[in-house]
């Protein structure tokens, strides 16, 4: 069981505190009456899927003793035009960089996250179609 | 289209930056090799659904000229025991406090969010069963 508390501050500004004790500010766009002092709630889903899959990939590649230098994940979400404007499609692009990275190890790590481990992906994919791709950058 | 960039820092620590320019740290539990320097990605979903529905409720009640003093939202998420450990059930409890609040206005605001407007709820409910309740606290 995970939990969170979300508290209204003012206008459309809210502070969310997670059960593990970390906090974040959320706010709306100016065009809907917010002041943009923090993220949009829908952005949290994109960051969540990036973080979740990134942790899987980092964890698997570190266990495989890969010389990892970086993992960058770009996430894009397409919303429906009509209310409730849910995500219809999410695209995740992984860029994994390191030294002498095994292409097979990276491919396997990304696939294991996407197909087996990533809880956020598994929660979102009931509604949103999720696509992913990866590239490997081997540096000296 | 919304977007986010998530970048690996070290261990299981990642920084996510939203398209609107706000950032957050994510990290894992010590038991999976993290250092708990930030939220778990799955917690972001619970905070996201709380923030999204809270903004709807705040916005609707402010338009209805209700004398709002507080909105507190408790969110709990039950995960499956097996991988990918997705959310199976999410419970949202709203406590709306104010002066001379109309019970009908609060009920309607919460229902409009849950049934019509909240994008995060609509994205999560393909997989997770979502329950909600509310209470009203009228103060002097």
pLDDT tens track for B8-29: 999 999 999 999 999 999 999 9
- The model's confidence at residue B140, banded by pLDDT at 50, 70 and 90, is confident
A18 vs B8: CB contact, 8 Å cut-off? no
Mean pLDDT of A51-64: 97
Same domain, B131 and B71: yes
Min Cα–Cα distance to chain A from B31, Å: 12
DSSP 3-state helix, strand, coil percentages of chain A (rounded to 5)?
Answer: 35, 40, 25
Same domain, A120 and A134: yes
Q: How far apart are CA A67 and CA A61, in angstroms?
A: 8
Contact present, A71 and A59 (Cβ < 8 Å): no
Q: How far apart are CA B134 and CA B110, in angstroms?
A: 8
pLDDT tens track for A67-115: 999 999 999 999 999 999 999 999 999 999 999 999 999 999 999 999 9
CATH of the domain at A59: 3.30.300.20
Give DSSP secondary structure letters for B10-53.
ETTEEEEEETTS-EEEE---GGGT---SSB-HHHHHHHHHHHHH
Q: At what angle do helices A41-63 and A103-112 cross, to 10 degrees?
A: 130
Within a 10 A sphere around the Cβ of B45, how many other Cβ atoms? 31
Q: How far apart are CA B96 and CA A81, in angstroms?
A: 30
Q: How far apart are CA B79 and CA B88, in angstroms?
A: 5
The answer to whether residue A24 neighbours chain B at the CB level (below 8 Å) is: yes
Same domain, B35 and B53: no
Same domain, A55 and A123: yes
pLDDT of residue B133: 98
Mean pLDDT of A28-44: 97
Same domain, A21 and A69: no
pLDDT of residue A140: 81
Query: Which of B 57-86 lie inside 8 A of A, CB atoms?
Result: 58-59, 62, 68, 70-79, 83-86
Contact present, A46 and B4 (Cβ < 8 Å): yes
| Secondary structure of A5-24 as H, E, C letters | EEEEEECCEEEEEECCCCEE
pLDDT of residue A83: 97
Contact present, B28 and B39 (Cβ < 8 Å): no
Same domain, B61 and B80: yes
Strands A129-138 and A87-99: parallel
Same domain, B129 and B105: yes
Which residues form the domain of B113?
A: 41-138
pLDDT tens track for B55-75: 999 999 999 999 999 999 999
* Chain A residue whose CA is closest to B46: A4
B45 vs A120: CB contact, 8 Å cut-off? yes
Domain count, chain B: 2
Same domain, A93 and A56: yes
> Would you call B108 helix, strand, or coil by DSSP?
helix
Same domain, B2 and B52: no
pLDDT of residue A48: 98
Same domain, A104 and A128: yes
Contact present, B61 and B104 (Cβ < 8 Å): no
CATH of the domain at B15: 2.20.25
A6 vs B39: CB contact, 8 Å cut-off? no
Mean pLDDT of A35-52: 98
pLDDT of residue A77: 98
Same domain, A34 and A60: no
Q: How far apart are CA A92 and CA A105, in angstroms?
A: 18
pLDDT tens track for B89-132: 999 999 999 999 999 999 999 999 999 999 999 999 999 999 99
Chain A residues touching residue B72 (CB < 8 angstroms): 5-8
Q: How far is CA A14 from the centre of its chain?
A: 21
B79 vs A47: CB contact, 8 Å cut-off? no
Q: At what angle do helices A41-63 and B41-63 cross, to 10 degrees?
A: 180
A45 vs B120: CB contact, 8 Å cut-off? yes
Q: Model pTM greater than 0.95?
A: yes
| Secondary structure of A14-61 as H, E, C letters | EEEEECCCCEEEECCCHHHCCCCCCECHHHHHHHHHHHHHHHHHHHHH
Q: Is the ipTM of this complex over 0.90?
A: yes
Min Cα–Cα distance to chain A from B105, Å: 18
Same domain, A47 and A16: no
Mean pLDDT of B33-43: 97
């Amino acid at each position: 069981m995970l939990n969170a508390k979300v508290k209204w501050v003012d206008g459309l500004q809210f502070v969310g505190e997670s059960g593990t004790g970390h906090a974040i500010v959320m706010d709306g766009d100016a065009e809907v009456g917010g002041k943009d002092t923090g993220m949009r709630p829908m952005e949290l889903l994109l960051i969540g899927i990036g973080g979740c899959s990134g942790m899987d990939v980092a964890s698997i590649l570190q266990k495989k003793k890969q010389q990892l230098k970086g993992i960058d994940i770009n996430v894009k979400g397409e919303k429906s035009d009509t209310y409730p404007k849910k995500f219809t499609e999410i695209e995740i692009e992984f860029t994994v960089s390191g030294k002498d990275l095994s292409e097979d190890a990276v491919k396997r790590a990304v696939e294991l996250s996407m197909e087996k481990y990533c809880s956020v992906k598994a929660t979102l994919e009931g509604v949103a179609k999720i696509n992913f791709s990866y590239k490997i950058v081997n540096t000296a």
